[in-house]
Amino acid sequence: MSRSDVVVTGLGATTPLGGDVASTWDALLSGRSGVSALTQEWAGQLPVRIAAQLAVDPAAVLDRVKLRRLDRSEAIALIAAHQAWADAGLVDSGLDPERLGVSIGSGIGGAVTLLAQDDILEASGPRRVSPHTVPMLMPNGPAAWVGLELGAQAGVHSVASACATGAEAIALGLDMIRAGRADVVVAGGTEAVIHPLPIAGFASMRAMSTRNDEPERASRPWDKGRDGFVLGEGAGIVVLERAEHAAARGARVYARLAGSGITSDGFDIVQPHPEGAGAVRAIAKAIADADVAKSDIVHVNAHATSTPVGDLAEIKALHHALGDHPVLTATKSMSGHLLGAAGALESIATILAIRDSVVPPTINLDDPDDDLDLDVAANKARHLDIPAALNNSFGFGGHNVALVFTRV
Amino acid sequence: MTRDEITTGLAEILEEVAGVSPDDVAEGKSFTDDLDVDSLSMVEVVVAAEEKFGVKIPDNEVQNLKTVGDAVSYIEAQS
């Protein structure tokens, strides 16, 4: 039996740039930053007082009682998943639930719920701790809620690989369909941890930008002045579908998910390998899996988080694994770093870049690093015919995930 | 506190916790069958009622509180 082709038939997102895919994509193409100052009282004590916060609060979309039992990461996963589901034309479609799977992960999970309930425990005692606490903080919560609301019965999975989570969840969805376990998989990532503790933790690692006076200029991948990533929150979800299944129901197809490559560094718990060795292998595996010519991969949505070391390790890896022809971009310059949702949002950007023949810009690239020797769509979008494109995601723990999307 | 006042207080809790319309709350209504209050929300209702009415509602009593009227009677007897 030949291997199933897998296509993308639906997209959904709620991000710092917009409450849906269309508004997010418009903002990305126009080079708008989603980063702003944190005005919450708790931010005053922190070394980092900027973040990329959701453009549309979940409370504007979901009703109050439902939100009481959802962690913010679960709420936005549900919002994005319902958008993707509708976008794919699957509402009331009669899809066999036993052929529907879910693969949605989070980098950190329900930490904000955990911390909020701990405050209640300390202040008021155990009886006041919400009975919804466990389903709100469990890391499989977002996937489980989406599976519940869409009626998925082919398996609900929640991978966790830090900032590679969203991409790895999509790669797992590809595997599920290829293995014959599902015809449709709702896949992606979600993250909502804009809270003093995670911020303090990342800041203690010296991983975050402290450009507090210029929020919109703080995320600046590959620029000489970069000083760390900017934390973002959001969810990105794609509907993956067996190509024959999509064709049989006349579904609109955005792109083909042609291949994936997953490796682990075995090098350091947080530092990327300086030569990007694990990334090189992930990219090479994805290209081989996709069975496309390197020369066809003319665009890369890079992981590029705006950290001094990581941005250049990826450049070396791309040189090595792909060559010097692709046009790169780092959409985190606008969205901030959505951690476990990053790979999903950036997959959506990669898919839409293919569809619209345009590479979104990398903003704030005013003074490129001397070691940046690849072509970047700096500061404005660039029209480009894109037969195939690569999306990279890397995570603390040494996780490397590369996805190849192609035009159909 | 009169039974009507307790019912009104429970209705406020049920609206806050479970989104139940106050118009639907009456002594004859079953929490699970009529008002759609699931087991986790019922825990929230009980804890909120303890606070609001200054009573203790032990877990082994909760299973006997099938209807709004059952809860009103229990709270009335305790307060």
CB spacing of A69 vs B17 below 8 angstroms:
no
d(C-alpha A87, C-alpha A11), whole Å: 6
Residues of B at the A interface, defined by Cβ within 8 angstroms: 17-19, 40-41, 43-44, 47
Question: What is the per-residue pLDDT for A2?
Answer: 65
Residue bearing the bigger pLDDT, A1 or B69: B69
Kindly identify which residue of chain A lies nearest to residue B42, measuring between CA atoms: A131
Domains and CATH numbers, chain A: 7-249 (3.40.47.10), 259-406 (3.40.47.10)
Q: Which residue in A65, A128, A131 is closest to B18 by CB distance?
A: A65
Q: Of residues A157, A195, A299, A303, which has the active-site annotation?
A: A303
| Residue A132 distance to chain B (closest CA, Å) | 7
Q: Give ipTM to 2 decimals.
A: 0.91
Task: Decide which of 1.10.1200.10, 1.20.1250.20, 3.60.15.10, 3.40.50.300 is the CATH code for B3-78.
Answer: 1.10.1200.10
H/E segment holding residue A51 = strand A50-51
Residues of A in contact with B44 (CB under 8 A): 130-132
CB-count exposure of residue B2 (10 Å: 0-12, 13-18, 19+): exposed
Strand ranges in A176-274 using DSSP code E only, listed in sequence order: 184-191, 234-242, 255-264
Report the predicted TM-score, pTM, of the whole model to 2 decimal places: 0.97
d(C-alpha A280, C-alpha A318), whole Å: 7
Write the pLDDT tens digit of every residue in A82-116: 999 999 999 999 999 999 999 999 999 999 999 99
By the CB < 8 Å criterion, does A132 face chain B?
Answer: yes
Residues of B in contact with A67 (CB under 8 A): none
Q: Of residues A157, A299, A337, A399, which has the active-site annotation?
A: A337
Residues 6 or more apart from A382 whose CB is under 8 A from it? A327, A358, A359, A361
d(C-alpha A200, C-alpha A10), whole Å: 36
One-letter amino acid of A202: F
Please give the span between the terminal C-alpha atoms of chain B, in angstroms, as a whole number.
8
Q: In 10 A of CB A72, how many CB atoms?
A: 24
Q: Which residue in B19, B40, B47 is closest to A132 by CB distance?
A: B40
Q: What is the pLDDT tens value at each position of chain A, 408 positions in all?
A: 468 899 999 999 999 999 999 999 999 999 999 999 999 999 999 999 999 999 999 999 999 999 999 999 999 999 999 999 999 999 999 999 999 999 999 999 999 999 999 999 999 999 999 999 999 999 999 999 999 999 999 999 999 999 999 999 999 999 999 999 999 999 999 999 999 999 999 999 999 999 999 999 999 999 999 999 999 999 999 999 999 999 999 999 999 999 999 999 999 999 988 889 999 999 999 999 999 999 999 999 999 999 999 999 999 999 999 999 999 999 999 999 999 999 999 999 999 999 999 999 999 999 999 999 999 999 999 999 999 999 999 999 999 999 999 999
Residues of A in contact with B47 (CB under 8 A): 127-128
Whether A303 is catalytic? yes
Question: What is the per-residue pLDDT for A205?
Answer: 95
Write the pLDDT tens digit of every residue in B4-39: 999 999 999 999 999 999 999 999 999 999 999 999
Write the pLDDT tens digit of every residue in A263-276: 999 999 999 888 89
Residues of B in contact with A131 (CB under 8 A): 40-41, 43-44
Q: Which residue in B19, B40, B47 is closest to A65 by CB distance?
A: B19
Question: What is the per-residue pLDDT for A1?
Answer: 47
Domain ranges of chain B: 3-78
